[in-house]
Amino acid sequence: MKFKKVLVTGGAGCIGIEVCKNLERRGIPTHLLDVTEQVARTKHALPKSVRIFYGSILDTSTIREAIEGCDAVIHLAAMLGVKRTEVNKLRCLEINIEGTKNVIDCCIQHRVKKIVFASSSEVYGEPFENPVNEKTPTQGKTVYAVSKLAAEELCKGYAQRYPLDYTILRYFNTYGQYQTAQFVLPKFILNALNGRPPIIYGDGDQLRSFCYASDTADGTVRALLSDKASGEVFNIGNSQQKMSLKELANLVLEVTHKDKRITPVFKKGFIGADRVATREINIRFCNISKAKEILGYEPKVDLVTGIKKLSEPGVIFEKWETTELPYLQEENS
C-alpha cells in the first residue's frame, strides 16, 4: 500500500522517534502529534522533515489539525507504565480508550485509509503457553492491559461500520533511546552507569523477550505498508532475545564495564517495584512467525548492541514528562 502522508501519534516517544526515522528513509512525509513536554525532550532526535503538532489525543481539535492531509495513521500515543497506570486507573482508561476513539473518529472524518494501532503484550497477562502467538488467549492483569484490549476492539468495531483499514500490533518489551527509567532495561542501565546495583524484585527468574525500538518501528512501518496486514493482529518483538531478569542485570553490568564488585540486589517483596506480587508476570516471550511470514519482519539489533546504545549520555530519562502531573497522583502516594 502507498500513502501520501502519515500521522504518528506519540511520535516523540522512544518508538515514535524510530518510526518517524523509518518513514523518512522511505520518503514518506510525516506529521507528528505529541504533548509539548515530550517533544521538548526529544525534538533534537527527530528527523528535520517531520512536521510537529503539539497536543493531546484527548483534544479532537488538535488531532483534526494534525491529521489534515494524511491518509494513514500510526497510533502510538498512550499512557504507559504499570505502576503509573495502576495508581491512576481512570486517567489511563480515559487516555488509552477515549483518546483512541478520538483518533479513530478523526480518521473517519478525514477519510484516512488505514490505522496501525500499537497494543501490547500485556494483553496476554500470564500466558497459558510460551512462546506467545497471536491466537494465545488474552487475559489482561492490569488496567493498562484492559485499556489496550478495549482499544483493539474499537479498531475492529469501527472497521465493521466504516471503510477504515486497521492492523493491531502487540509490542513485546521494547527498549531504546529516550525511554524513561520506569522500564526494567533502562532502569538497570541507569543504575549501572551511576555505580548502583540493578535491583530485581522477586527471584529474577522472570523471563522476557526484549526488542530494540528501531526493530519495533520497522515492524510497525511494514505493517502499515503491507496489503496483507489488513484486519490482522501481529506480535512484534525479538524472539531471539529472551532472557531472565537476573541474566539481563548481569549482562548490563558486563556491557557497561562497571565495577565487578557491583552485583544485582534481590528484593523478596515488591515495595518500590512497578508491580505488585499478584500482578507479576513470570514467563512471557513472543512467537513472531506470523510477522516474519506476512510482513518480512526480522529484528536486527542484538541485546549487547542495544545496551551500548542505551548507555550513551542523555538518552535515558529518570522521570516521565510532566504533562499529566496536574491530573495524576504521585506514584509513591
Would you please indicate which residues are annotated as catalytic (active-site) residues?
A: 144
Element (H, E) at 67: helix 60-67
Decide if 176 contacts 212 (C-beta within 8 A). yes
How many helices and strands (H and E) does the chain possess? 12, 16
C-alpha cell at 114: 488505514
Contacts of residue 300, Cβ cutoff 8 Å, sequence gap at least 6 = 214, 215, 218
Local structure of 200: helix, strand or coil:
strand
User: What amino acid occupies position 22?
Assistant: N
List residues bridging with 36 in a β-sheet.
Answer: none
Local structure of 97: helix, strand or coil:
helix
Local structure of 132: helix, strand or coil:
strand
Give me the phi and psi of 304, to 5 degrees please.
-60, -45
Whole-angstrom CA distances from 323 to 37, 54, 118, 181, 300 are: 6, 12, 21, 17, 34
List residues bridging with 31 in a β-sheet.
Answer: 7, 51
Decide if 291 contacts 204 (C-beta within 8 A). no
Decide if 11 contacts 296 (C-beta within 8 A). no
Nearest to 7 by CA among 56, 74, 57: 74
